[in-house]
Chains A and B, each alone.
Chain A
Amino acid sequence: MINYSIGISRIADPISAAKEATQQAALKFTGNKVQLAMIFVSIDLAGPALGKIVKDQVFDAPVIGLSGTAIITPQGILKQGLMVVFFEFESGFNFSCDCVKNISAKNSLESGKELGWKLLSSFKESARHFALMFSDGLLGTGSSVINGMQERLGNSFPIIGGCASDNLRFKKTFIYYNEEILTKAACGILVGGNANFSVGIKHGWKPLGKLHTVTQAQANVVFTIDNKPAASFYEEYLALDIKSLQRESKIISTLYPLGVYIPGEEEYLLRNIISIENDGALVFQGEIPVDSQVRLMIGNKDSCLEAAKEAAETAYLELRQQEQHLHSHLHNAIAFIFDSSSRYLLLRKDADKELQAIKESLGDIPLIGIYTYGEQAPLKAVKYRGRTHFHNQTITIMILEG
């Protein structure tokens, strides 16, 4: 049994909003003791005092959270909003919670390992199910952090979550851990014991044109593709010069992200462009290793909405299968949504339709979540729990039932 309460504020002042949402969550809380608090906050309300205000309310319970382009609440999408969720879990449900700071491009892998190790070392003995992780959205090395965690938790251990975002300003994104507001950090919880969970992840983009090879790259910066400056890839496909590309980088990145081919997986991994440098280098929201086979991807609002529906259906069906398998009927489910900021940019007014499409599959299960700069989840969610990847432009839906 998961006991949770949700507090939401739309007040334009960060401190007042933090207080309102926290008080609301506290008032609605019907359990004995808050064991975990989660914060989802739109970037404009992501104030430094938020963590402390929530922490003061929940005493020794850990607090984790992240900033986003907008937040997803049971009341709908809030462009300017703050949501605080208090959790209490039944005995048999175990979790550990921790955080790593000062992550850089160089130590991302090590930081991932550190977080994995910290989570493991404070976890009580029981079956581990998955880890939920939030990280700074401007690291550019989300894959390395995940790889690091996988070295500690296991290569096929599901790591789900998203990266903090800042409404496509690409200036500063925030992670909350207890009283602190952090950049260049990642926090996570490791969950095990008496709980069901399922994941659905989709993007809805299809490859177009021939395969190209990344010939020179470092972390999330691609210098050359097919031995030509990386930007020429887009210049040729779109017949635009580099200045026009730079000017329209957001819409191009959203409509035509780069697709990275992963051997053995059905779907291409998407990468959104953060910036296009004058020398033709492309900066992406996640790593692209040298020798990667890449293609231009194409999609639209309809394929985007269809993907959301499929992701929700996948997650829902998987949960039902687990219930049948366990002959149990656990209640009190809650769905976490990590939806890409690029999708929000593309859908804009139709973002509600995406939520609606999810609700059609999930029914009454309340939705909480945030718009992110990168999502993490195993690419294949049904039957075989595949390797967790760092994605861009996807919608990741995780249902937790206890």
Chain B
Amino acid sequence: MGNLGQIISFAGFISPGIILFLCIVLMYKIERIKQLQNMASKLRDSVDEMDEQAKLIVRTDLELNKTQEALNKKLNGLYGLQKLSRKLSSTLQEEQLFTAVDPAQLEELGFEKGIIFLYNETEKKFILKAAVNYQKDNTEVIKSGLDKQKELFLDFMSKEKAINSSVSAQNKETIAKINSLFKTTSFVIAALLPKEGNRGFIFLGNEDASNLVTEGDEEVVNILATQLAQGMENARLFDESWRTHQELEKKVEERTHALSLALEELKIVSKRKTDFISSVSHELRTPLTSIKGYAAILLTEKLGALPPPVKERLEKINRHSDELTHFINDLLDISRIESGRVILNRQAQSLRPIAEKVFDLLSVQLKERQINSELIISPELPQAIFDTNQIERIFINIIGNALKFTPPEGKITVNIYAKGNMVEVDISDTGCGIPVESQEAIFEEFYRVDNLINQKVTGTGLGLTLVKKIIEAHEGKIWVKSSVGKGSTFSFTLPASPLK
């Protein structure tokens, strides 16, 4: 018991101390809790503060992102537009024009879907021209929808400015109807108004509701629509000019065909003429030979003396028969050359011997008519390629003509020289000359210059024709330079031999 009393008395002594101690501890703890609470509250405040800062960051970030997005969109749109413009301006076919807008380009322009319709005024129908990111069954639904709401879309097509669903003055119901028809949530529609031809519209839109079209998009579509319309105009003009060109070409072809037909006919006629002349000439030559023969026999007077008038007539018969024979021979030669029946014996040789021979032959006549003559041959004259007999005829013919038309005391000059890869022969006289208008015609068959000498001197009008044919058969050319009263120069060329 004593112990207990002791304990109690000890406790009685110590308990105020413990209580005091505990109170102190408690007070300290309370203080600590207060401190911690304070700290926690500060921490919470700073977390909240940080959260507020986070909010500011997010808001700024969102604004930045939106601005960046808008800027990107605009840049891409302009870039896309520029690329498309280049494509459109180089396209001259209407169909290609509409297909120029492909999915990648549409995305660049900032749209998800696009469709182009033209309105056929005569059939009163919309015609689909292009559709990007639309399936075939979609476009059919849209087309029938357009036909049902024709007035509305024709009204759009009368407006010069694009209509933007986001800021349009159109009522909400109409916009919603269009959106549901084209399966979009926002769109821009712009009229295609070429100066002539069918009008139409271009519809560009977005399906994604968060990707609404902007005013910038409207500008892009306005520019695109103007360019498309311009392109349509260009295509139409190009088409027209192309068509005209085609028609012109067709006409030229037709005319060429007609001309070649006429030429063929002409060749046939010409051949018939040649054949006819050839056969008639042959037929004439036989009786003519008989006539001349009999006249010659009679003129010998072996069959009996002839009274002078008869003799005189018979001589005329003889002379005319000679002329006729000559004429027929010329005709026959021309027809032979024309039909290619003459075989030329062309050889490389000098023209000198022939020219000298002809001068020799005609020397008597020259003397008789008191006409001077000169033969000039270039010392370095190359050989020419020709048929001796035929070229001899040419010299005789041309110099003969010169003799005929040159008055006494006149002069005939023959000049032979090389010119390029040809040998040229100029035969000049101081005769009466040939009027300009006849200078071409003298080489035509039966043409005779109307002058005093020709009225007196007989001629067939075939000589120069024959000369021309022979020269052409030798691959040469013949021409004349002449002035009336002063004289003429007949020139012809023959191919020179390549061998010296």
A contact set with B: CB distance below 8 Å: 12-14, 44, 79-80, 167-169, 208-210, 236-239, 247-252, 255-256, 296, 298, 300, 348-349
In-complex Cβ contact of A44 among B48, B59, B62, B133 (8 A)? B133
Chain A to chain B contacts (Cβ below 8 Å), 6 pairs: A80-B103, A208-B57, A237-B58, A238-B55, A256-B58, A256-B62
- In the complex the two chains form, is B210's CB within 8 Å of A79's CB? no
B61 at the interface (CB under 8 A from A): yes
In the assembled complex, the Cα of A206 lies from the Cα of B210 at a distance in Å of 24
Which A residues touch B58, using CB under 8 A? 208-209, 237-238, 256, 296, 298
- In the complex the two chains form, is B47's CB within 8 Å of A210's CB? yes
Which B residues touch A252, using CB under 8 A? 62
CB under 8 Å from chain A, chain B span 30-52:
47-48, 50-51
- In the complex the two chains form, is B65's CB within 8 Å of A251's CB? yes
B contact set with A: CB distance below 8 Å: 47-48, 50-51, 54-55, 57-59, 61-62, 65-66, 69, 76, 103, 107-108, 133, 135-136, 207-211
Which B residues touch A249, using CB under 8 A? 210
Which A residues touch B48, using CB under 8 A? 210
Residue of B nearest to A211 (CB): B47
In the assembled complex, the Cα of A237 lies from the Cα of B59 at a distance in Å of 7
The distance from the CB of A29 to the nearest CB of chain B, in whole angstroms, is 29
- In the complex the two chains form, is B107's CB within 8 Å of A79's CB? yes
Residue of A nearest to B62 (CB): A238
- In the complex the two chains form, is A209's CB within 8 Å of B207's CB? no
The distance from the CB of A159 to the nearest CB of chain B, in whole angstroms, is 31
The distance from the CB of A96 to the nearest CB of chain B, in whole angstroms, is 36
- In the complex the two chains form, is A210's CB within 8 Å of B51's CB? yes
- In the complex the two chains form, is B207's CB within 8 Å of A300's CB? no
The distance from the CB of A313 to the nearest CB of chain B, in whole angstroms, is 27
Further 10 A-B residue pairs, CB within 8 A, beyond A237-B59, A238-B59, A300-B65: A12-B135, A13-B136, A80-B103, A209-B50, A250-B208, A250-B209, A255-B61, A255-B65, A300-B61, A348-B107
The distance from the CB of B47 to the nearest CB of chain A, in whole angstroms, is 5
Question: Knowing A208-B58, A210-B48 touch, does A13 contact B135 (C-beta < 8 A)?
Answer: yes
- In the complex the two chains form, is A349's CB within 8 Å of B61's CB? no
- In the complex the two chains form, is A250's CB within 8 Å of B55's CB? no
Residue of B nearest to A79 (CB): B103
The distance from the CB of B86 to the nearest CB of chain A, in whole angstroms, is 20
In the assembled complex, the Cα of A208 lies from the Cα of B58 at a distance in Å of 9
Which B residues touch A168, using CB under 8 A? 208
Would you call the interface of chain A mostly helix, strand, loop, or mixed? mixed
In-complex Cβ contact of B210 among A14, A237, A250, A348 (8 A)? A250
Residue of B nearest to A14 (CB): B135
- In the complex the two chains form, is B133's CB within 8 Å of A349's CB? no
- In the complex the two chains form, is A236's CB within 8 Å of B55's CB? yes
Counted as pairs of residues, one from A and one from B, with CB atoms less than 8 Å apart, the total is 68
In the assembled complex, the Cα of A256 lies from the Cα of B55 at a distance in Å of 12
Q: Would you list the 6 A-B pairs with minimal beta carbon distance, nearest first?
A: A209-B54, A250-B210, A210-B51, A209-B51, A208-B54, A237-B58
- In the complex the two chains form, is A167's CB within 8 Å of B57's CB? no
- In the complex the two chains form, is A255's CB within 8 Å of B210's CB? no
Which A residues touch B66, using CB under 8 A? 251
Which A residues touch B59, using CB under 8 A? 237-239
- In the complex the two chains form, is A251's CB within 8 Å of B210's CB? yes
The distance from the CB of A167 to the nearest CB of chain B, in whole angstroms, is 7
Residue of A nearest to B48 (CB): A210
- In the complex the two chains form, is B107's CB within 8 Å of A296's CB? no
- In the complex the two chains form, is B107's CB within 8 Å of A298's CB? no
Looking at A14, A44, A208, the one whose CB has the most chain B CB atoms below 10 A away is: A208
Which A residues touch B57, using CB under 8 A? 208, 298
Which A residues touch B54, using CB under 8 A? 208-210, 237, 296
The distance from the CB of B64 to the nearest CB of chain A, in whole angstroms, is 9
Which A residues touch B62, using CB under 8 A? 238, 252, 255-256
In the assembled complex, the Cα of A298 lies from the Cα of B61 at a distance in Å of 9
Residue of B nearest to A248 (CB): B210
The distance from the CB of B187 to the nearest CB of chain A, in whole angstroms, is 16
The distance from the CB of B171 to the nearest CB of chain A, in whole angstroms, is 20
In the assembled complex, the Cα of A239 lies from the Cα of B59 at a distance in Å of 7
The distance from the CB of B40 to the nearest CB of chain A, in whole angstroms, is 14
Which B residues touch A238, using CB under 8 A? 55, 58-59, 62
Which A residues touch B76, using CB under 8 A? 349
The distance from the CB of B268 to the nearest CB of chain A, in whole angstroms, is 62
- In the complex the two chains form, is B133's CB within 8 Å of A169's CB? no
The distance from the CB of A136 to the nearest CB of chain B, in whole angstroms, is 21
Which A residues touch B209, using CB under 8 A? 247, 250
Which B residues touch A209, using CB under 8 A? 50-51, 54-55, 58
Which A residues touch B108, using CB under 8 A? 349
Which A residues touch B136, using CB under 8 A? 12-13
The distance from the CB of B98 to the nearest CB of chain A, in whole angstroms, is 15
Which B residues touch A169, using CB under 8 A? 207
The distance from the CB of A41 to the nearest CB of chain B, in whole angstroms, is 14
In the assembled complex, the Cα of A239 lies from the Cα of B208 at a distance in Å of 23
The distance from the CB of B416 to the nearest CB of chain A, in whole angstroms, is 82
Which A residues touch B50, using CB under 8 A? 209-210
In the assembled complex, the Cα of A79 lies from the Cα of B59 at a distance in Å of 32
In the assembled complex, the Cα of A248 lies from the Cα of B103 at a distance in Å of 25
Residue of A nearest to B108 (CB): A349
Question: Knowing A13-B135, A79-B107, A80-B133 touch, does A239 contact B210 (C-beta < 8 A)?
Answer: no
Which A residues touch B211, using CB under 8 A? 250
The distance from the CB of A303 to the nearest CB of chain B, in whole angstroms, is 12
The distance from the CB of A294 to the nearest CB of chain B, in whole angstroms, is 13
In the assembled complex, the Cα of A168 lies from the Cα of B211 at a distance in Å of 11
Residue of B nearest to A208 (CB): B54
In the assembled complex, the Cα of A239 lies from the Cα of B55 at a distance in Å of 8
In the assembled complex, the Cα of A249 lies from the Cα of B103 at a distance in Å of 26
The distance from the CB of A166 to the nearest CB of chain B, in whole angstroms, is 11
Residue of A nearest to B66 (CB): A251
In the assembled complex, the Cα of A79 lies from the Cα of B54 at a distance in Å of 36
In the assembled complex, the Cα of A150 lies from the Cα of B108 at a distance in Å of 44
The distance from the CB of A108 to the nearest CB of chain B, in whole angstroms, is 28
Which A residues touch B65, using CB under 8 A? 251, 255, 300
- In the complex the two chains form, is A349's CB within 8 Å of B107's CB? yes
Which A residues touch B69, using CB under 8 A? 251
Which B residues touch A256, using CB under 8 A? 58, 62
- In the complex the two chains form, is B133's CB within 8 Å of A247's CB? no
Residue of A nearest to B104 (CB): A79
Residue of A nearest to B44 (CB): A210
The distance from the CB of A275 to the nearest CB of chain B, in whole angstroms, is 11
The distance from the CB of B214 to the nearest CB of chain A, in whole angstroms, is 14
Which A residues touch B107, using CB under 8 A? 79, 348-349
Which B residues touch A13, using CB under 8 A? 135-136
Which B residues touch A44, using CB under 8 A? 133, 135
